[in-house]
Chains A and B, each alone.
Chain A
Amino acid sequence: MQISLNINGEDHKVDVDLRRSLLDVLRHDLALTGTKKGCDHGQCGACTILLDGRRINSCLSLAVMHDGATITTIEGIGTAEDLHPLQRAFVAQDGYQCGYCTPGQIMSALAMLTEAEEGWPSYISESLEAEPDLTDDEIAERMSGNLCRCSAYPRIRQSIAEARAQMRAAK
């Protein structure tokens, strides 16, 4: 079945097996291998992408269900010459080790910051209605869908906090 996807601002037409996940379309059909497969069951977060601006696990998505969708992947947020503030911060803070979960962490963080800006609470928020205060614990809870077996967690969160400060300053 043929579907159209807008990925990182570019239109793609792909003929897909009905069973193919969005993740495998990215990795196999479009050679966008920045999005990683760690578990294929929504248990690790390595495949996180933005679908219409929201973070999802691309492994738990049938490609055919997303005909016409607008998708952002790690390849779409920065370039070698002009890294995204999150990407810069991950490099500077050593917010990774092996690098395999990194694209997922970054895409998840990007959407998580938007969610917080929109006032979304988390399970550990003291108040469900107050403006979220993105403490280290708050970032941790909101990022817990992204596993990192190298366990770069402390520095991943430092990277996110640093990038957030820079992104806010730039506004």
Chain B
Amino acid sequence: MKLFDYHKATGLSDAQTKTAAGATLIAGGTNLLDLMKLEIQTPEVLVDINPLGEDEIAEQDGGLRVGALVRNAALAAHPLVRQRYPVLSRALLSGASGQIRNKATTAGNLLQRTRCAYFYDTASACNKRAPGSGCDALEGRNRMNAILGVSEHCIAAHPSDMAVAMVALDAEVAVEGPEGARRIALEDLYRLPQDRPDQETTLHPGEVITAVILPPPPKGRQTYLKVRDRASYAFALASVAGIVSVDNGRITAAALAFGGIGAKPWRNRAAEAALLGQAVGPQAAEAAADVLLADAVCHGDNAFKSALTRRLIHRALRELTGETA
């Protein structure tokens, strides 16, 4: 870990000013410290934003405003989240461990970096870590890497579970910066790698995430399913956050977001549209999967993810459209 200057943020504008000047913000630190220890990130200035508060969950416009510093554990356990947004609660609880969830924050979870093994090894070529150096994952051991939204410069997968559920819920991110406050659809917070995989978000210089805004709970049933190499405490090979409404045996609304397979938490509106009006059954799942996976680009070890995702869609839809227990 490289030496850095350490400041406790005195207020939001202090954090904005410092981050505009190149400082790195730290909240829970569960990923940033991990990266700093390996010198994958070497901030000159570290600004601790824990003094900002922003750790409240409040009802707002029929939905919820989740402060940026709300811990993952607190969010998952909040009665309104458990009751109205079970997909979010489940997604959070499927991620990491009890210890990490107690420390990791909402905004930090959104901004966590990929766990691509080559990003994590400074002796590897990685365009995300060292722009222009190449991508050792393309022909490397890429079993955990993404198949959607990837480029010839980067096939890193976004590792978050929480963000996948939030994307399915049409969450927005509230940010405040030098030019004032704005809201960004969470899906649009993330950039695709294209030829600059090091540029991961659409945040402007000096902008700080202050909250995640959840719209009123959607109609329909919700689920979060995650497939991984061991039963717990592992990143997703593939995961799905699904919210589906059925009327008279036909699908009337559907939101499906995916983790473990995308360069960002992945949602494809055309795949969802393919479900609308369809009779409940395997054919509906096939229709959505065909659209979603038409864009898949695999690189050897991760080729199984396409078929696995198809199966996850079947499993999620059957669960969400079947008779209630």
Contacts and interface: CB of A to CB of B under 8 A. Distances in A.
Contacts of B181: none
Nearest 6 A/B pairs, CB to CB: A145-B97, A144-B232, A123-B93, A128-B82, A120-B77, A144-B233
Contacts of A65: 26, 29, 48, 50
A120 B83 CA distance: 13
A146 B232 CA distance: 11
B102 A45 contact: no
Nearest to A49: B99
B30 A121 contact: no
B90 interface: yes
Contact of A45 (B36, B48, B97): B97
Interface residues of A, number: 39
Given A65-B48, A144-B233, A42 B30 contact: yes
Interface stretch (B1-9, B121-129, B185-193): B1-9
A60 B98 contact: no
Given A42-B34, A128-B82, A60 B103 contact: yes
Given A55-B98, A112-B98, A145-B97, A119 B90 contact: no
Contacts of B37: 40-41
A144 B97 contact: yes
Given A19-B1, A142-B98, A128 B86 contact: yes
Interface of A: 1, 18-19, 21, 40-42, 45, 48, 51, 54-57, 60-62, 64-65, 108, 111-112, 115, 118-123, 128-129, 140-147
Contacts of A56: 99-100, 102-103
A48 B100 CA distance: 10
Which residue, B30, B77, B82, B97, has most C-beta atoms of chain A within 10 A? Answer: B97
A20 to B, nearest CB: 9
A26 B82 CA distance: 36
The interface residues of chain B, by DSSP majority, are classed as helix
Given A21-B33, A42-B34, A65-B48, A48 B99 contact: yes
A84 B22 CA distance: 48
Given A65-B29, A128-B82, A129-B82, A145 B4 contact: no
A145 B232 CA distance: 8
Given A18-B6, A65-B26, A128-B90, A55 B33 contact: no
B254 interface: no
B94 interface: yes
A18 B2 CA distance: 10
